[in-house]
A = this chain, B = another copy of it.
Amino acid sequence: MKRTRSRKGAPGIVEVASRARVSPATVSRFFTNPDIVKGATRKRIEQAAADLGYIRDRMAGAMHHGFSGTIGLIVPTIDNAIFAELISAFANRLLEHDRTMLIAAHGYDLELEIGIVRSLLERRIDGVAVIGLQHAAAPLEMLATRNVPVLATWNYREDSKISCVGADNFQAGYEVAQYLLDHGHRDIALVFPPTKGNDRAEDRLLGALDALQKDLSDIPPDRLLEALYDIGGAKKAVAALLSGNRPTALICGNDVIAQGAVYACQLLGLRIPDDISIIGIGDFRGSAHMEPGLTTCRLPARRIGEQAADLLCRGGIPPASAKPLRNQVPSNIVVRNSVNRI
């Protein structure tokens, strides 16, 4: 099983060193902390490294200080608008910090997380960001044992067990519901993804219900719909709902579902917002430009991603044993054209 294809062509630090007529140690110092080598020497090393096309081997370095310069990101899914902006922002910000991102998806199956965490740990990640606050104990323990900082993103709770940066999803749910109430809606249906293992969706739903139950009697069960986490599924579910006696407004657990709902309406020839109002949560890419523009609760994904990256890179995350760090980013309703006053 000998691989013929080897890293043979690659010059190492010692080649650079001998070409620059210094010791390997100095070359190493030059790369980690250029200021401590004298100007003249620095020039020579720079030149030698350039001539040879030297590329650092961070793995070898990581053997010592234990830091690989790699940060993990575990998301439920990549193939979806939901986390795209977060992932993107996170990755770009990591790059600015001279880190790289190891990413993996578990498809909303929290049990898979353990395998992923293990795989990341084997690669010596310096830290890991996850989505949401709800996770199996095992992976968290594994990370804690090895003192790898973990940061939950996307959702914020003031009583979170682990450090988090995100928006208060309960409040987001509350706000959209309140918004509809404020606009005179009284017959409101909710379309949400399965909340099992998904604290974001759960919190939103709870928030919405909380607001609604203040003004309304209990929500009849047929006004609470479960839709799978994609446009097609939501479209079908909503189409079914709307064929019957229909509510005046829809709260969608996220913008992807809202998009499906909008399509369902168009399919049925219902005008939005005249015949029915729709509000989403998330403000994903595309929500602004669809027709009609989707009124939704904006969760600042970019900001969350960037903050998460900064925190993880700067090492500002307290160990698992200490009080978690909790950063809340604000969410806010952005009103467009999918909700009517009645």
List residues of chain B with CB within 8 A of the CB of A6: 66, 147
Q: Are A95 and B80 in contact (CB under 8 A)?
A: no
Interface string of A242-274 (1 = CB under 8 A from B): 000000000000000001100100110000000
Give the number of times this chain occurs in the complex, counting copies. Answer: 2
Distance between Cα atoms of A68 and B62 in the complex (Å): 13
Partner of A101, one of B102, B259, B266: B102
Given contacts A65-B3, A103-B103, are A123 and B291 in contact (CB under 8 A)? Answer: no
Asked if A122 and B260 sit within 8 Å, CB to CB, the answer is no
The residue of chain B having its C-beta at the shortest distance from the C-beta of A5 within the complex is B147
Question: A232 — which chain B residues lie within 8 A by C-beta?
Answer: 288-289
Type the 1/0 row for A1-25, where 1 means its CB is closer than 8 Å to any CB of B: 0010111111000000000000000
For A147, the closest partner residue in chain B by CB is B5
Residues of B within 8 A of A118 (CB): 55
| Contact in complex: A259, B285 (CB < 8 Å) | no
How far, in whole Å, are A57 and B65 apart by their CA atoms in the complex?
14
Question: 5 A-B contacts, Cβ less than 8 Å apart?
Answer: A7-B66, A55-B146, A78-B88, A79-B88, A79-B89
Known interface pairs A9-B145, A55-B142; 17 further A-B residue pairs with C-beta atoms within 8 A, sorted by A's residue number:
A3-B67, A7-B147, A58-B124, A59-B63, A68-B123, A69-B122, A79-B88, A80-B285, A81-B84, A84-B84, A88-B105, A91-B104, A95-B104, A100-B104, A100-B123, A101-B104, A231-B289
